[in-house]
Structure formats: C-alpha cells, structure tokens
C-alpha cells in the first residue's frame, strides 16, 4: 500500500488544527515546513436543547470565537499562538477569554509515514483586561500548562488517502483547580484534493475529585477552494495557497445537557 505524500499530509493536518475545541486549539503530530504558516479563524455556537437551533427558547446558548496562528519556526519545530473569547447569550455573567501558546517538535518518524512528536503548551486567562466583573464571573479560569505526546500515521491508494492522529495530554491547572488528562483522536479520509471528512473523539478526565469528565464526538467536513485555471491560462508560479472552509458539529455524550455545538472554520496559509 502506498503512503500519503507529504503535501497531502500537510493539508490534512492543517484542517486538524481547527477541529479541537476550547481550551485552546492544538495540532496533530506533523510539523509544518520551515518558514510556512497558517491562520485559522473559528466560530462556534453551542445550544441546549438541540431543538433550540431551529425553534424555541434555549436553556443555554454560548458563542465562541478563536483566531489561531501556527508557524514552522525551524525544521521539525512548530510554534503556535491563539486567542479566544466565549460568551453566553443566556447568562451575561458567563464569559471567558484567554491567550494560549504551544511548541511542538518531531521526535521520531520513518519512511512509511508514521510519526511521533511531543508538545508543550500554556493558557493564560485575560478576563481581567476587560473588567473586574468579567474576571470575577470566571472563578475557575486559571493559568494552565499542558504536556502531550502525539502519534500519527497515513496511507493512500486509488481510493484516496486517509490518516489517523492520536494525542495524550496532562494539563496542570493552578489555583487549586483539578489537573486534567486529555485524549484526542482524529480519523480523516480524503477522496480527492478538494474534500476531507474528519471524525474526532475528544476525552477529558479531571483528577483530584474533578466532576467535569467529558467525551465529545466531532464529525466535520472541509472543502478546499483551489484557484481556477482556464484551459488557455498558465499555471501559477510558486506555492499555491488555497483557502479551506470547514463545517462540523460536536456533542458531548457524557454531558448531554450541554447540547449541540456547530462549528465554522476558515483557514489560510502564508
């Protein structure tokens, strides 16, 4: 069986970035090429009950916005920075905001397309920059540091291409908040260069008596807008940087009262 080309791997992992939900966006194990980057803008609406998306009054209704920037600093080392803001329509005192960062490096790979990486990240709440009342509305919002191991593999053939990415993370939370263990798995299938289907599983297990365990299921679909070239036109010189739009939803099967989340992401490379 043939393996997935490096260009397609980069495309697949770029879309992976916008899959993960707050806390901050993270990426798969594949590093970005040195000197290349991307910007991803994500908006999410989560409401309960599910029927409130089409009619009726929502018991809870939350909006989330994030901008994420990732850059290949040097060979095998990728850095990222993001900022997010979340507010509840149903509860004006329920708002949060934070800035996050990460650094990821490859530690092992082979010529068959398998790869392992390690990553360190942080999240720092910035509610106090808006107002004291804003900060007081989020007593559980604290500085956090996480360490994670990542593994991925990919394949391709006449049927298209596919990949799997898994991550296991320990997250330290300050100010007496319970630490967390997180596990993220994503399966992707790409029948052609325009389209990519993704299925993500995001698990969270608080330690030290925490009670907010979760298991999110997150299917999504991404469509890449490649430049159109007429029959008589020449192909563009240099690297082609298409725009990708991703649509998806997520549902926490352990916290059904949280309702359904709907996501739209747009990302561009540079």
* pLDDT tens sequence across 222-237: 999 987 776 666 666 6
Min mean pLDDT across 18-32, 65-79, 212-226 is at: 18-32
Tokens for 80? 């990222």
Phi, psi dihedral angles at 213 (to 5 degrees) = -60, 145
Q: Are 244 and 222 within 8 A, CB to CB?
A: yes
Nearest to 12 by CA among 133, 115, 136, 124: 115
User: Would you report the helix, strand and coil content of the chain in percent, each value rounded to 5?
Assistant: 10, 55, 35
**DSSP code at position 3:** P
Residue-level pLDDT at 85: 93
111-136 mean pLDDT: 86
Residue-level pLDDT at 16: 54
**Three-class DSSP category at 18:** coil
Nearest to 2 by CA among 154, 109, 155, 190: 155
**Radius of gyration, CA atoms only, the chain:** 19
**Would you give the distance in Å from CA 253 to the centre of its chain?**
19
**Distance between CA 65 and CA 88 in Å, rounded?**
12
**pLDDT score of 113 more than 70:** yes
**Would you give the distance in Å from CA 265 to the centre of its chain?**
10
Burial, 158: exposed, middle or buried (Cβ in 10 Å; 0-12, 13-18, 19+)? exposed
Nearest to 58 by CA among 89, 35, 28, 30: 89
β strands within 110-173, DSSP E: 115-125, 144-157, 160-173
48-57 mean pLDDT: 85
Residue-level pLDDT at 39: 93
Q: What is the pLDDT of residues 5-37, one digit of tens each?
A: 545 454 455 545 444 444 444 468 988 889 999
- How many CB atoms are closer than 10 A to CB 59? 12
Residue ranges of alpha helices (H) inside the chain are 6-17, 132-136
């Amino acid at each position: 069986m043939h393996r997935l080309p490096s260009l397609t791997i980069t495309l697949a992992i770029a879309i992976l970035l916008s899959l993960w939900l707050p806390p901050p966006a993270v990426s798969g194990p594949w590093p970005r090429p040195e000197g290349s980057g991307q910007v991803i803008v994500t908006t999410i609406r989560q409401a309960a009950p599910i029927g409130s998306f089409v009619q009726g009054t929502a018991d809870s209704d939350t909006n989330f916005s994030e901008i994420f920037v990732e850059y290949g600093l040097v060979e095998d080392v990728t850095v990222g920075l993001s900022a997010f803001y979340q507010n509840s329509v149903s509860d004006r005192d329920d708002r949060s905001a934070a800035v996050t960062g990460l650094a990821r490096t490859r530690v092992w790979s082979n010529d068959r397309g398998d790869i392992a990486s390690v990553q360190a990240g942080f999240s720092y709440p910035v509610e106090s920059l808006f107002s004291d009342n804003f900060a007081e509305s989020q007593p559980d919002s604290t500085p956090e540091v996480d360490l994670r191991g990542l593994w991925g593999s990919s394949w391709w053939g006449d049927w298209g291409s596919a990949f799997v990415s898994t991550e296991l993370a320990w997250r330290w939370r300050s100010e007496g908040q319970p630490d967390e263990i997180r596990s993220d798995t994503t399966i992707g299938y790409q029948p052609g260069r325009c389209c990519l289907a993704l299925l993500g599983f995001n698990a969270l297990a608080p330690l030290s008596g925490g009670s907010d365990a979760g298991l999110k299921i997150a299917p999504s679909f991404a469509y890449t807008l490649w430049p159109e070239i007429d029959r008589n036109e020449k192909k563009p010189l240099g690297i082609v940087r298409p725009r990708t739009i991703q649509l998806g939803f997520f549902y926490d099967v352990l916290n059904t009262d949280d309702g359904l989340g709907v996501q739209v992401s747009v990302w561009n490379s540079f």
